[in-house]
Protein backbone atom coordinates (compact mmCIF):
# COMPACT_ATOMS: atom_id res chain seq x y z
CA UNK A 1 0.00 0.00 0.00
CA UNK A 2 1.05 3.60 -0.49
CA UNK A 3 1.41 6.21 2.22
CA UNK A 4 -1.86 7.98 3.08
CA UNK A 5 -1.65 11.38 4.74
CA UNK A 6 -3.81 12.37 7.71
CA UNK A 7 -4.87 15.95 7.09
CA UNK A 8 -7.08 16.60 10.10
CA UNK A 9 -8.42 15.17 13.34
CA UNK A 10 -11.59 15.90 15.28
CA UNK A 11 -13.01 14.61 18.55
CA UNK A 12 -16.26 14.77 20.44
CA UNK A 13 -17.02 13.69 24.00
CA UNK A 14 -20.25 14.24 25.95
CA UNK A 15 -20.19 16.85 28.72
CA UNK A 16 -21.72 14.58 31.38
CA UNK A 17 -19.19 12.80 33.58
CA UNK A 18 -19.36 10.35 36.45
CA UNK A 19 -16.47 9.05 38.53
CA UNK A 20 -15.73 5.52 39.63
CA UNK A 21 -16.35 6.33 43.29
CA UNK A 22 -19.91 7.48 42.60
CA UNK A 23 -20.74 4.32 40.66
CA UNK A 24 -18.98 2.14 43.23
CA UNK A 25 -21.02 3.58 46.10
CA UNK A 26 -24.19 2.38 44.38
CA UNK A 27 -22.93 -1.18 43.87
CA UNK A 28 -20.62 -1.88 46.81
CA UNK A 29 -17.57 -1.39 44.64
CA UNK A 30 -16.60 -0.28 41.14
CA UNK A 31 -16.14 -3.32 38.91
CA UNK A 32 -14.05 -1.98 36.03
CA UNK A 33 -10.26 -1.78 36.21
CA UNK A 34 -8.23 1.37 35.70
CA UNK A 35 -11.08 3.83 35.19
CA UNK A 36 -11.27 6.95 37.33
CA UNK A 37 -13.98 8.82 35.45
CA UNK A 38 -16.03 8.33 32.31
CA UNK A 39 -18.23 10.24 29.90
CA UNK A 40 -21.96 9.64 29.65
CA UNK A 41 -23.94 10.24 26.48
CA UNK A 42 -26.92 12.53 26.96
CA UNK A 43 -30.50 11.83 25.96
CA UNK A 44 -29.88 13.64 22.65
CA UNK A 45 -26.49 12.01 21.97
CA UNK A 46 -25.90 8.76 20.10
CA UNK A 47 -23.34 7.30 17.71
CA UNK A 48 -24.65 9.39 14.80
CA UNK A 49 -24.76 12.74 16.59
CA UNK A 50 -21.30 12.19 18.10
CA UNK A 51 -19.90 11.07 14.74
CA UNK A 52 -21.24 14.20 13.07
CA UNK A 53 -19.64 16.53 15.64
CA UNK A 54 -16.26 14.79 15.45
CA UNK A 55 -16.41 14.82 11.65
CA UNK A 56 -17.17 18.55 11.58
CA UNK A 57 -14.12 19.16 13.76
CA UNK A 58 -11.89 17.03 11.50
CA UNK A 59 -13.04 18.85 8.36
CA UNK A 60 -12.39 22.19 10.03
CA UNK A 61 -8.97 21.05 11.23
CA UNK A 62 -8.02 19.94 7.73
CA UNK A 63 -9.53 23.03 6.09
CA UNK A 64 -11.01 20.64 3.55
CA UNK A 65 -14.22 21.36 1.67
CA UNK A 66 -17.02 18.89 2.41
CA UNK A 67 -17.67 18.60 -1.30
CA UNK A 68 -14.17 17.14 -1.74
CA UNK A 69 -14.83 14.11 0.48
CA UNK A 70 -15.20 11.07 -1.78
CA UNK A 71 -15.56 8.37 0.89
CA UNK A 72 -17.13 8.36 4.36
CA UNK A 73 -16.28 5.35 6.53
CA UNK A 74 -18.10 4.98 9.85
CA UNK A 75 -17.29 2.51 12.63
CA UNK A 76 -19.58 1.88 15.60
CA UNK A 77 -20.98 -0.97 17.70
CA UNK A 78 -23.96 1.13 18.77
CA UNK A 79 -25.81 2.38 15.69
CA UNK A 80 -29.14 3.92 16.74
CA UNK A 81 -31.05 1.52 14.44
CA UNK A 82 -30.72 -2.23 13.86
CA UNK A 83 -31.46 -1.75 10.16
CA UNK A 84 -30.73 1.48 8.35
CA UNK A 85 -27.81 3.19 6.64
CA UNK A 86 -26.30 5.31 9.41
CA UNK A 87 -23.49 6.31 7.05
CA UNK A 88 -26.01 7.96 4.77
CA UNK A 89 -27.47 9.77 7.79
CA UNK A 90 -24.06 11.12 8.82
CA UNK A 91 -23.32 12.17 5.23
CA UNK A 92 -26.69 13.92 4.95
CA UNK A 93 -26.28 15.86 8.18
CA UNK A 94 -22.73 16.86 7.23
CA UNK A 95 -23.87 18.01 3.81
CA UNK A 96 -21.45 15.78 1.89
CA UNK A 97 -21.78 15.31 -1.85
CA UNK A 98 -24.50 12.97 -3.11
CA UNK A 99 -21.70 11.07 -4.86
CA UNK A 100 -19.85 10.35 -1.61
CA UNK A 101 -19.47 6.61 -1.03
CA UNK A 102 -20.56 5.58 2.47
CA UNK A 103 -19.14 2.53 4.24
CA UNK A 104 -20.37 1.35 7.64
CA UNK A 105 -18.59 -1.13 9.92
CA UNK A 106 -20.30 -2.47 13.01
CA UNK A 107 -20.83 -5.63 15.07
CA UNK A 108 -17.40 -5.55 16.74
CA UNK A 109 -15.16 -3.15 18.65
CA UNK A 110 -12.82 -3.67 15.69
CA UNK A 111 -15.22 -1.48 13.68
CA UNK A 112 -13.23 1.71 14.23
CA UNK A 113 -10.03 0.38 12.72
CA UNK A 114 -12.04 -1.45 10.03
CA UNK A 115 -13.35 1.98 9.02
CA UNK A 116 -9.83 3.43 9.14
CA UNK A 117 -8.47 0.67 6.89
CA UNK A 118 -11.36 1.27 4.48
CA UNK A 119 -10.51 4.97 4.39
CA UNK A 120 -6.86 4.21 3.69
CA UNK A 121 -7.84 1.96 0.78
CA UNK A 122 -10.27 4.49 -0.72
CA UNK A 123 -9.50 6.62 -3.74
CA UNK A 124 -9.44 10.34 -3.02
CA UNK A 125 -10.08 12.18 0.24
CA UNK A 126 -11.76 10.00 2.88
CA UNK A 127 -13.46 10.94 6.12
CA UNK A 128 -13.15 8.23 8.78
CA UNK A 129 -15.14 8.42 12.00
CA UNK A 130 -15.55 6.03 14.93
CA UNK A 131 -18.25 6.71 17.51
CA UNK A 132 -19.60 4.57 20.33
CA UNK A 133 -21.57 4.46 23.57
CA UNK A 134 -21.68 0.84 24.79
CA UNK A 135 -24.34 -0.35 27.24
CA UNK A 136 -24.68 -3.27 29.66
CA UNK A 137 -26.73 -4.09 32.80
CA UNK A 138 -25.96 -1.47 35.49
CA UNK A 139 -24.46 -4.01 37.93
CA UNK A 140 -22.08 -5.41 35.30
CA UNK A 141 -18.38 -4.54 34.98
CA UNK A 142 -18.98 -3.85 31.28
CA UNK A 143 -21.43 -1.07 32.15
CA UNK A 144 -19.20 0.30 34.90
CA UNK A 145 -16.52 0.69 32.24
CA UNK A 146 -18.80 1.99 29.47
CA UNK A 147 -18.11 5.53 28.28
CA UNK A 148 -18.87 7.50 25.12
CA UNK A 149 -17.16 9.55 22.45
CA UNK A 150 -16.11 9.89 18.82
CA UNK A 151 -12.94 10.52 16.81
CA UNK A 152 -12.72 11.48 13.14
CA UNK A 153 -9.75 11.58 10.77
CA UNK A 154 -9.61 13.26 7.37
CA UNK A 155 -7.35 11.28 5.04
CA UNK A 156 -6.00 12.97 1.94
CA UNK A 157 -2.95 14.07 0.04
CA UNK A 158 -1.03 16.19 2.53
CA UNK A 159 -0.65 16.14 6.29
CA UNK A 160 1.83 16.10 9.16
CA UNK A 161 0.98 12.45 9.91
CA UNK A 162 0.53 9.46 7.63
CA UNK A 163 -0.69 5.89 7.63
CA UNK A 164 2.29 3.96 6.30
CA UNK A 165 1.12 0.36 6.68
CA UNK A 166 -1.78 -1.82 7.80
CA UNK A 167 -1.95 -5.44 8.93
CA UNK A 168 -4.76 -7.78 9.97
CA UNK A 169 -4.95 -10.84 12.19
CA UNK A 170 -7.92 -13.19 12.32
CA UNK A 171 -8.70 -15.47 15.25
CA UNK A 172 -12.00 -15.98 17.03
CA UNK A 173 -12.28 -16.04 20.81
CA UNK A 174 -15.97 -16.86 21.41
CA UNK A 175 -17.69 -15.21 24.35
CA UNK A 176 -15.24 -12.41 25.09
CA UNK A 177 -17.76 -9.69 24.17
CA UNK A 178 -20.98 -9.87 22.21
CA UNK A 179 -24.51 -8.49 21.90
CA UNK A 180 -27.45 -10.72 21.10
CA UNK A 181 -29.69 -9.87 18.17
CA UNK A 182 -32.31 -7.38 19.32
CA UNK A 183 -30.49 -6.73 22.60
CA UNK A 184 -29.31 -3.34 23.85
CA UNK A 185 -26.45 -4.40 26.10
CA UNK A 186 -23.14 -6.14 25.55
CA UNK A 187 -22.31 -9.35 27.39
CA UNK A 188 -19.27 -11.45 28.18
CA UNK A 189 -18.62 -14.74 29.90
CA UNK A 190 -16.46 -13.04 32.53
CA UNK A 191 -13.60 -15.54 32.21
CA UNK A 192 -10.83 -13.14 33.19
CA UNK A 193 -7.79 -15.24 32.22
CA UNK A 194 -9.41 -16.16 28.90
CA UNK A 195 -10.27 -12.50 28.18
CA UNK A 196 -6.68 -11.45 28.87
CA UNK A 197 -5.27 -14.17 26.63
CA UNK A 198 -7.67 -13.25 23.83
CA UNK A 199 -6.84 -9.56 24.05
CA UNK A 200 -3.04 -9.87 24.13
CA UNK A 201 -3.05 -12.56 21.42
CA UNK A 202 -5.09 -10.38 19.06
CA UNK A 203 -3.05 -7.21 19.65
CA UNK A 204 0.26 -9.05 19.35
CA UNK A 205 -0.87 -10.91 16.24
CA UNK A 206 -1.82 -7.73 14.43
CA UNK A 207 1.31 -5.81 15.45
CA UNK A 208 3.52 -8.74 14.39
CA UNK A 209 2.13 -8.28 10.89
CA UNK A 210 3.71 -4.83 10.58
CA UNK A 211 7.12 -4.54 8.93
CA UNK A 212 8.50 -2.39 11.75
CA UNK A 213 7.73 -2.46 15.46
CA UNK A 214 6.12 0.78 16.67
CA UNK A 215 7.37 2.91 19.56
CA UNK A 216 3.84 3.44 20.83
CA UNK A 217 0.65 1.37 20.94
CA UNK A 218 -2.95 2.69 20.84
CA UNK A 219 -5.17 -0.39 21.29
CA UNK A 220 -8.84 -0.99 21.89
CA UNK A 221 -9.35 -0.16 25.55
CA UNK A 222 -12.26 -2.01 27.19
CA UNK A 223 -10.94 -0.80 30.54
CA UNK A 224 -7.85 0.91 31.91
CA UNK A 225 -5.94 -2.27 32.72
CA UNK A 226 -5.82 -4.46 29.63
CA UNK A 227 -3.98 -2.00 27.33
CA UNK A 228 -0.86 -2.07 29.53
CA UNK A 229 -0.75 -5.87 29.22
CA UNK A 230 -0.77 -5.58 25.46
CA UNK A 231 1.94 -2.93 25.57
CA UNK A 232 4.20 -5.23 27.56
CA UNK A 233 3.51 -8.05 25.13
CA UNK A 234 4.63 -6.03 22.09
CA UNK A 235 7.27 -3.91 23.84
CA UNK A 236 5.70 -0.51 23.18
CA UNK A 237 4.53 2.38 25.32
CA UNK A 238 0.75 2.18 25.57
CA UNK A 239 -1.73 5.01 25.19
CA UNK A 240 -5.45 4.99 25.92
CA UNK A 241 -8.09 7.28 27.39
CA UNK A 242 -10.25 4.72 29.17
CA UNK A 243 -9.12 6.07 32.53
CA UNK A 244 -10.85 9.41 31.86
CA UNK A 245 -13.46 8.60 29.17
CA UNK A 246 -14.38 5.00 29.96
CA UNK A 247 -14.73 2.28 27.33
CA UNK A 248 -15.44 4.11 24.07
CA UNK A 249 -15.74 0.85 22.11
CA UNK A 250 -14.88 1.15 18.43
CA UNK A 251 -13.58 4.69 19.01
CA UNK A 252 -11.13 3.70 21.76
CA UNK A 253 -8.07 2.95 19.58
CA UNK A 254 -8.46 6.32 17.86
CA UNK A 255 -8.70 8.01 21.24
CA UNK A 256 -5.46 6.19 22.04
CA UNK A 257 -3.95 7.77 18.92
CA UNK A 258 -5.10 11.19 20.14
CA UNK A 259 -3.50 10.52 23.55
CA UNK A 260 -0.25 9.44 21.87
CA UNK A 261 -0.16 12.58 19.73
CA UNK A 262 -0.85 14.73 22.80
CA UNK A 263 2.21 13.16 24.44
CA UNK A 264 4.41 13.80 21.40
CA UNK A 265 4.58 10.24 20.08
CA UNK A 266 5.08 9.91 16.34
CA UNK A 267 5.48 6.16 15.66
CA UNK A 268 2.21 4.55 16.69
CA UNK A 269 0.37 1.31 16.01
CA UNK A 270 -3.38 1.87 16.26
CA UNK A 271 -4.85 -1.56 16.98
CA UNK A 272 -8.55 -2.43 16.98
CA UNK A 273 -9.61 -5.79 18.39
CA UNK A 274 -12.83 -7.77 18.18
CA UNK A 275 -13.14 -11.02 16.27
CA UNK A 276 -9.63 -10.54 14.97
CA UNK A 277 -7.59 -7.35 14.93
CA UNK A 278 -6.25 -4.59 12.70
CA UNK A 279 -2.96 -2.75 13.15
CA UNK A 280 -2.58 0.64 11.47
CA UNK A 281 0.93 2.11 11.56
CA UNK A 282 0.94 5.91 11.86
CA UNK A 283 4.06 8.05 11.48
CA UNK A 284 4.15 11.73 12.41
CA UNK A 285 1.61 13.58 14.51
CA UNK A 286 -1.05 16.26 14.44
CA UNK A 287 -1.67 18.85 17.16
CA UNK A 288 -4.58 17.82 19.38
CA UNK A 289 -6.46 19.19 22.39
CA UNK A 290 -7.81 16.91 25.11
CA UNK A 291 -9.14 19.46 27.61
CA UNK A 292 -12.79 18.65 27.01
CA UNK A 293 -15.18 20.41 29.42
CA UNK A 294 -17.17 18.15 31.74
CA UNK A 295 -20.14 18.36 34.09
CA UNK A 296 -20.54 15.75 36.87
CA UNK A 297 -23.89 13.96 37.20
CA UNK A 298 -25.37 12.04 40.13
CA UNK A 299 -25.85 8.29 39.91
CA UNK A 300 -29.61 8.75 39.58
CA UNK A 301 -29.03 11.10 36.64
CA UNK A 302 -26.58 8.60 35.19
CA UNK A 303 -29.20 5.83 35.28
CA UNK A 304 -31.69 8.04 33.47
CA UNK A 305 -29.20 9.12 30.81
CA UNK A 306 -28.22 5.51 30.22
CA UNK A 307 -31.86 4.45 29.91
CA UNK A 308 -31.66 2.07 32.88
CA UNK A 309 -34.58 3.84 34.53
CA UNK A 310 -37.21 6.27 33.29
CA UNK A 311 -37.83 9.07 35.78
CA UNK A 312 -37.55 8.70 39.54
CA UNK A 313 -34.41 8.17 41.61
CA UNK A 314 -32.20 5.17 42.25
Judged against a pLDDT cut of 70, whether residue 190 lies above it is answered with: no
Give me the numbers of helices (H) and strands (E) for the chain, helices first please: 10, 13
Phi, psi of 181 (to 5 degrees): -55, 130
Model confidence at 7, pLDDT cuts 50, 70, 90, reads: very high
Q: What is the pLDDT of residue 313?
A: 43
User: What does the CA dihedral 268, 269, 272, 277 come to, rounded to 10 degrees?
Assistant: 180
Judged against a pLDDT cut of 60, whether residue 311 lies above it is answered with: no
Q: What is the pLDDT of residue 229?
A: 93
Q: What is the pLDDT of residue 161?
A: 97
Residue 178 contacts residue 156 (beta carbons within 8 Å): no
How many residues comprise the chain?
A: 314
Report how far apart, in Å, the C-alpha atoms of 238 and of each of 41, 269, 280 are: 26, 10, 15
The C-alpha angle with vertex 167 and arms to 193 and 269, in degrees rounded to 5, equals 70
Q: What percent of the chain has pLDDT over 90?
A: 80
Tell me the pLDDT tens digit for each residue of 260-301: 999 999 999 999 999 899 999 999 999 999 999 999 999 999
Secondary element (H or E) of residue 313: none
Q: Which of 267, 50, 218, 262 is nearest to 148 (CA)?
A: 50
Judged against a pLDDT cut of 90, whether residue 169 lies above it is answered with: yes
pTM for the model stands at: 0.94
Judged by average pLDDT, the poorest of 155-164, 172-181, 210-219, 288-297 is 172-181
Report how far apart, in Å, the C-alpha atoms of 264 and of each of 41, 219, 277 are: 29, 17, 25
Tell me the pLDDT tens digit for each residue of 203-228: 999 999 999 999 999 999 999 999 99
Judged against a pLDDT cut of 60, whether residue 312 lies above it is answered with: no
* CA 152 to chain CA centroid, nearest Å: 10
Residue 158 contacts residue 97 (beta carbons within 8 Å): no
Residue 188 contacts residue 37 (beta carbons within 8 Å): no
Q: What is the pLDDT of residue 182?
A: 74
Q: What is the pLDDT of residue 310?
A: 61
Model confidence at 107, pLDDT cuts 50, 70, 90, reads: confident
- Distance, CA of 157 to CA of 286 (rounded, Å): 15
Q: What is the pLDDT of residue 314?
A: 39
Query: Within a 13 Å sphere around the CA of 313, how many CA atoms are in the beta-carbon half?
Result: 3
Amino acid sequence: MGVTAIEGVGTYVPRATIDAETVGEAWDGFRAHGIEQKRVAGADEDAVTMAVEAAKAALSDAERSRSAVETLAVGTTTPPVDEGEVGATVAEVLGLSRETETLVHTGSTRAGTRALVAGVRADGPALVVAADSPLAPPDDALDHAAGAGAVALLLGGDGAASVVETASFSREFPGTRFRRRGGDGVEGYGATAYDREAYTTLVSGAVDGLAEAPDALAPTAPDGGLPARAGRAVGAKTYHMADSLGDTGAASPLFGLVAAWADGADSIAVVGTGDGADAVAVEGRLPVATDWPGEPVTYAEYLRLRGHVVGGDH
